[in-house]
């Protein structure tokens, strides 16, 4: 049995967990599962909420890594050189929590979330903006998959 159907059988909780894992530093994708589930009977709103909340909480896991793992240990573990760390520090100091709007992006979204925690962007605005960015991404994807959200 393929991975997609296994997760889809778990329903909205499966989508929630897949979306959570996709937002952590683990290599995982939730879009394919969302595509499979969008062909089913679930409402667009329930799919949007399950994916967005799971993905935001996964992003907050990265934020937490940055916030609570000592900087030297994190930099060594993730093999981040000081020049790259300085660029991320500059991004967070320049844009603050607003950078969380971009945490949905592939490849750089996870490092942005880690940098937000590491360089102490305020938690609540980071959560709110991360949720907005991730929800917008899933809303666009659902709109494409379903030809309109059909709330």
Q: What pLDDT score does 1 carry?
A: 39
Q: Report CA-CA distances (Å) from 44 to 87, 96, 128, 146.
A: 38, 32, 21, 8
Which region among 28-32, 57-61, 92-96, 140-144 has the lowest average model confidence (pLDDT)? 28-32
Query: Which tens digit of pLDDT belongs to each residue from 123-138?
Result: 999 999 999 999 999 9
Domain boundaries, the chain: 3-146
Distance CA 110, CA 27 (A): 11
**Confidence class of residue 112 from pLDDT cuts 50, 70 and 90?**
very high
CA distance 78 to 118: 13
pLDDT band for position 81 (cuts 50, 70, 90): confident
Q: Distance between CA 27 and CA 18 in Å, rounded?
A: 11
Residue (of 111, 31, 124) closest to 74 by Cα position = 111
Whether 102 contacts 51, CB under 8 Å: no
> 7 pLDDT exceeds 50?
yes
Write out pLDDT tens, residues 64-75. 999 998 877 777
Average pLDDT, integer, range 76-80? 73
Q: What is the largest CA-CA distance in the chain?
A: 49
Q: Report the C-alpha dihedral over residues 17, 63, 52, 2, rounded to 10 degrees.
A: -30
């Amino acid at each position: 049995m393929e991975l997609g159907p296994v997760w889809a059988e778990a329903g909205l909780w499966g989508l929630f967990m897949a979306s959570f894992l996709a937002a952590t530093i683990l290599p995982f994708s939730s879009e394919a599962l969302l595509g499979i589930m969008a062909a089913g009977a679930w409402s667009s709103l329930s799919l949007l909420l399950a994916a967005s909340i799971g993905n935001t909480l996964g992003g907050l896991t990265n934020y937490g890594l940055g916030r609570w793992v000592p900087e030297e240990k994190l930099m060594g573990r993730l093999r981040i050189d000081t020049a790259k760390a300085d660029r991320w520090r500059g991004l967070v100091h320049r844009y603050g929590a607003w950078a969380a709007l971009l945490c949905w992006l592939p490849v750089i979204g996870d490092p942005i979330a880690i940098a937000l925690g590491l360089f102490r962007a305020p938690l609540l605005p980071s959560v709110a903006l991360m949720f907005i960015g991730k929800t917008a991404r899933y809303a666009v994807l659902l709109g494409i998959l379903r030809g309109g959200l059909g709330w």
